[in-house]
Each structure stands twice: as structure tokens, then as C-alpha cells.
A and B are shown apart, each in its own frame.
Chain A
Amino acid sequence: MSYLDLEGLVKTYGEVDAVSDFNLAVDKGEFISLLGPSGCGKTTTLRIIAGFETPNRGTVRLDGEDITQVPPHHRGMGMVFQSYALFPNMTAWGNVAFGLRVSKRTAGQIDQRVQELLELVGLADASQKYPAELSGGQQQRVALARALAIEPKVLLLDEPLSALDAVVRVSLRQEIRRIQSQLGITTVYVTHDQEEALSISDRVVVMRKAEIEQIGTPIEIYTSPKTLFVATFIGTTTKFDAVVADGRSGRVRAGEIDLAVGQDLSRAFSDGDSVSVFVRPEAIRIAQAGETVQADNILPATLESVTLLGPVIRLSLTCSGMSLVADVNTSERSRFARGEDVLVCFQAGACRVMPKQEI
């Protein structure tokens, strides 16, 4: 049996569904991310786990025990907030010690534990500083230490890095993961940043409009999205609106283009069905017009724009009126100029086919 069980959670505010029929089983020591756009219900779900919200229906079970009606201060769950929520009247030390004082530890135990935790988050020498004297990243480290101090049964993080700048965000998320693995603490992490979710989680729950779209490991979510929403929300992708031309041999037709998608479509679709075909930008290779290339799909295209993203450059192309995105190594940048005619090449296996539907 899993450690944290969420069964059939429903939460409505008036007419609005915040969470509808949410089911999730989290194993002990697992790092789970709830990922989705704002308003998808991820924060409400987290607040139900913390006890700040009571679900209209459904059960929260911790280690087999129904805790749905247990008030937050008896749940033993450490929470980290986007706005840090450090107590401004207490030093870093005082903040970390707060939960320990509440649970009536001896002064010696408190001293030792606070010291341990401040060292764990790398702030041992800032213990006498007040929150106002610390940077955002440092404040969030203190908040993390404070939540961990009570040895919580579950660690809950609500967009903990959203208020921080990019560099701090990346280093702190690695650190959160390091500490989480080191302590083996069950963690639920809410974020709207897919890169964050994919990079640190054991499993990701993608949510949209109060519902779960897909639960899976980061690599599953990225490479085998189950729904159109997941396919477009996670990462960048090119979408072809197409109809099935010959399902058995895996051929579809998008406008004037024929595409080989490398799978038998006849079981899921009939010929003539509308489908969406997705191709990741990193799966596309660009060749010069006239170059001899080998690929399942080779399409003539025009280069519309070139954007430097750092290690890769992103090319926007048009092909028979459809837009495509491709990433190539930045070292190859000299090969590409705007307005140039090129060939877009990708293998059939890089295509993911889904029934066409509106998002």
C-alpha cells in the first residue's frame, strides 16, 4: 500500500470546480510534482493535503489513516510557500526553531537540530539574521529548513521557486532534490514550470482544468504524452493537422504533404479520420536544399526566423503554409540565414499521432 493516498478528491468553489475526482497514490520517499497552468487545481490539491482546505468529497489517507478531517496543525506536514512566509519577527534560527518549540523539545535538542538544518541548507552563519536581511534564495532555504525541522511526514512545496531569479531557481531546485533524496522524505511539489517538474521529480502529475491529464515519470510525460494537452503543454512541439490517408501503412496527409508516421494506425483510426501529428524540435534535422539526405520524411521549407536559446538555436520554418519548429546545435548557426530554402527531415518514429480535438 502506498504512503499518501488521495482518493476521489473533489473541491468546488460555488459553481467552479477547483479539483474534480483527483486520485493519486504516493509512495514513501517519492518526489511527486503537480504540474499545470495557473488555475488547474494543483495548489488546491496541495492545500487539501496540508489541511488548509477541506474537500467536498474524497479521502486523504496518510500511512493508511484517514486524515481528511484532521486540522493542519495536527498533520505534521511541512509546508514551503511561494512567498516564503518566514516570521519577520524571528531570526533564521528562531524560524527554524519555531516548530520544535511547539512540539516541546528541550533547549539542547532544539539547538542541535536547528544547527543541523541550517548547515543542511548552507546557512549556518546566517542564523542570527532576520528575514529582511536575507536574499530571496536564502529566505527560501530558511523556509525549507523550518519545514524540515519538524521531521514532517510529508513535505509540501507550493511553487517555492517562482519568486526567485533564474540562476537561483536552478541551483535551489537541485538542492531541494539533493536534500529530499538524502532525507528520503515524501514530497509533493507544485509548479507551473515544466522544466522544474521534469528535472527533479520521480513522477509528474500533469493537471488541467481541475483534472489529471497524465501521471508518469518525467521521461514518459515528455516522450509519450497521453493527451493533446500534455503533448502541447510539455516542451515545444510542431503540430500537423492531418487526416489518415492509409492507416495500415502509417501514412497521413497534412494539407499537401504526405507524412510517414511509422506505426499502424488502422486499429485506432479509420482512413479519413482527422488526427494531430506531433514532432519535437530536437527530432528534426535541417539540410540544405538540394542536399542528398535519407529520412522517412523530407519536406521543403523556408526559414522564417532564427532564435538563439543558448546551447541550441531554434528555427521557425514554413512548409506549404504550416509552421514548424526545429532546434539545431548553436555551433551550426552559420549554416542558416533567414529566408533560405531548406529541407526539413525527420524519421517516422519521431511522430506522435493523436485524435484531433480542441484544447
Chain B
Amino acid sequence: MKNRNPAGTVSILLFLGYMFLPILATYIFSVAVRWDRSILPEGLTLDWYRTAFQDRWFLIVFTHSITLSAATVLTSVVLIVPTAYWVHLRLPKALPLLNLISTLPFAIPAVVLALGLIKLYGQGPLQLARTPPMLVLAYVIFTLPFMYRPVASSLEAVDVRRLTEAAQSLGASWPRTLVQVILPNIMPGILSGGLLVFATVFGEFTLATLLVGARYKTFPMQLVYYTRRDGRIASAYSVISFTVAWVTSLIILWVATWGTRRSAGRGVQGELASQQASVGGTV
């Protein structure tokens, strides 16, 4: 920057402050002895982390949240990827409809979704209401845009139609084409979608509370419980939650670049890197 524009610098600083000050404050608060009577924290301690880890609920809620996140990612990959592929390949006219459906969850508040599901599945043969599987299914709907969008843009980027026809002319059936040709090439989309879904579900509170509540306590529920008792332990929980999101991204990034080396790998890295900031904000 040769010509420094003060207005530009100020707006960038404001933006960075807006984004990172709360996170920074959370980190500091989680290691502060006390930070409510003075400008600077009164000493540093790891006691709040010790308390958090020693809580007998910690491992339970952690496992629950990881299980929910993983189950949601798997379910949505299995449901959404073949559907999106098929629509791109055979029903391109239905794409606008699919795009619309995929943004609907943004328009439906979690409360409405939860109450609707309880009402609908409260009776009848399925008896899914208020069970973790139902929560997973609700999460699949809730996070549909996060999974669908990156998958759809990957599908658009690789010309699935031509690749499918090429594979078919070489004798491959369509399931084989999907697994060996299409999936590896849209992996960046699936991974970034999966990452967003994982992070969103790991930090989700409303649906979990309304749909299953204390029967299947999740990490955010425990976090909320602590915000009412001791903000410093709650901060420690938040930091752990951030860390989970970062570690998941790194693991997925590592797996992705290891699995689809070279040209495809570079694409994965770029796309995932651009998703990480938003993940930090989601959790």
C-alpha cells in the first residue's frame, strides 16, 4: 500500500476488532483469575480448564456432540451428494427448485422447525420424537445449505455431465461412475460442506435443547449451564469448542491433501482455507 488511505485503515481495524476482540476476550477470560473488577485480569490460572475437564459431564457431553456432528455429516453426505449429482446430470431444469429448497432452512427459525417436528413425529409409527436420531435428521435439514452449496458449486465446476458420459462410454455403470469419477472430483466441496456442518452441529444449542433436552446433553448445553454459574468455566468451554473446530478443519485438510494430492489437492486447500474464518464464527 503506497497511498495510505486513513479511512480504509480505520475500517479494516474496526472490522478486525469486531471479529477478533470477542474471541480474544474469551481466551483471556478463560485463563484469568478474575477480570470483572479491573481493566487487566488479576493474574492468570488454568483452574477453569481443570474444573471443566474434571466435570464428570465433560466427557459425556463431548462425546454426544462429536457423535451428533459426525452422524449429521454422514447422513447429509449420503442424502445430498447423490441427489445433487443426479439433478445436475439428469434434471438440470429442477436445479432452481433444488437451490430454493436448499436455502429454505435459513428462512425457518430453529424453534419453528423443532416444534413442527415434535408435533409431527410425536405420534404415529416412527416414535422418533425426542430421540438423538431425530435430532440428527433435524440437523440435516438445518444444515442443508451448508452441505448443498459447496457440493453444488463443485459439481458445476467439474462438468459432471461430460465426465459421466466419458465414464459410461468406457463401460462404467452409474454407481461406479459416482464413486470412482465424480466423488473424487467434488471432494473439495464435500469436505468444506462437511466441515461447516460438523462445526455448526457441534455448537448448536436451540434444536438440541428443544428436541431432546437433558436426555441427551450436548456440549453447548453444558456451556450454557456454566454461563449461569461461572463465566470463566464457560469461557474455558468456549475455547475448547473453538479448538475442536480448528482441529477438525486441520484433520480434514490433512486427509484431503493426503487423499487427493497434486492439482486436486491444491484446490482443496484453497477452498478449505477460505472456509475456516466462517467456522470460527459459527462455533
A87 at the B interface (CB under 8 A): yes
**Chain A proximity of B249: nearest CB distance (Å):** 22
* Separation of A85 and B170 alpha carbons in the complex (Å): 12
Whose C-beta in chain A lies nearest to the C-beta of B169? A79
**Chain A proximity of B89: nearest CB distance (Å):** 11
Q: Is the interface of B mostly helix, strand, loop or mixed?
A: helix
Contact with B along A35-77 (1 / 0, CB 8 A): 0000000000000001110000000000000000001111111
* Separation of A81 and B162 alpha carbons in the complex (Å): 8
The answer to whether B169 and A133 touch across the interface, beta carbons within 8 angstroms, is: no
Contacts of B262 in A (CB 8 A): 130, 132
B171 at the A interface (CB under 8 A): yes
Whose C-beta in chain B lies nearest to the C-beta of A131? B263
Contact flag A102-B170 (CB < 8 Å), given A83-B159, A85-B159: yes
* Separation of A147 and B170 alpha carbons in the complex (Å): 7
* Separation of A199 and B109 alpha carbons in the complex (Å): 66
The answer to whether B169 and A132 touch across the interface, beta carbons within 8 angstroms, is: no
A-B contacts at CB below 8 angstroms, number? 77
* A98-146 with Cβ < 8 A to chain B: 98-99, 102-103, 130-133, 143, 146
B279 at the A interface (CB under 8 A): no
The answer to whether B165 and A72 touch across the interface, beta carbons within 8 angstroms, is: yes
Contact flag A89-B184 (CB < 8 Å), given A76-B171, A102-B172: yes
B167 at the A interface (CB under 8 A): yes
B74 at the A interface (CB under 8 A): no
Chain B CB within 10 A, most for which of A72, A74, A79, A87: A87
Q: Is the interface of A mostly helix, strand, loop or mixed?
A: mixed
The answer to whether A78 and B169 touch across the interface, beta carbons within 8 angstroms, is: yes
The answer to whether A81 and B263 touch across the interface, beta carbons within 8 angstroms, is: no
A150 at the B interface (CB under 8 A): yes
* B153-203 with Cβ < 8 A to chain A: 158-159, 162-163, 165-173, 176, 180-181, 184-185
The answer to whether B171 and A102 touch across the interface, beta carbons within 8 angstroms, is: yes
The answer to whether A132 and B168 touch across the interface, beta carbons within 8 angstroms, is: no
The answer to whether B263 and A130 touch across the interface, beta carbons within 8 angstroms, is: yes
Q: Tell which of A89, A102, A132, A146 touches B260, judged by Cβ atoms closer than 8 Å.
A: A89
A272 at the B interface (CB under 8 A): no
B264 at the A interface (CB under 8 A): yes
* Separation of A78 and B264 alpha carbons in the complex (Å): 26
Whose C-beta in chain B lies nearest to the C-beta of A77? B169
The answer to whether B171 and A132 touch across the interface, beta carbons within 8 angstroms, is: no
**Chain A proximity of B64: nearest CB distance (Å):** 36
A235 at the B interface (CB under 8 A): no
**Chain B proximity of A16: nearest CB distance (Å):** 16
A349 at the B interface (CB under 8 A): no
The answer to whether B176 and A88 touch across the interface, beta carbons within 8 angstroms, is: no
Contact with A along B18-50 (1 / 0, CB 8 A): 000000000000000000000000000000000
Contacts of A50 in B (CB 8 A): 165, 169
The answer to whether A87 and B181 touch across the interface, beta carbons within 8 angstroms, is: yes
Contacts of A149 in B (CB 8 A): 170
The answer to whether B166 and A85 touch across the interface, beta carbons within 8 angstroms, is: yes
Contacts of B264 in A (CB 8 A): 88-89
**Chain A proximity of B242: nearest CB distance (Å):** 33
Contact flag A87-B185 (CB < 8 Å), given A79-B165, A79-B166, A132-B263: yes
* Contacts from B to A (Cβ < 8 Å): 158-159, 162-163, 165-173, 176, 180-181, 184-185, 260, 262-264
Interface contacts beyond A89-B264, A146-B166: sample of 5 additional A-B pairs, CB < 8 Å, sorted by A: A86-B166, A99-B172, A102-B171, A102-B176, A131-B263
16 contacts between A and B (CB under 8 A): A73-B169, A73-B170, A76-B171, A77-B169, A78-B169, A81-B165, A83-B159, A85-B159, A88-B263, A89-B181, A89-B264, A98-B170, A99-B170, A133-B263, A146-B166, A146-B170
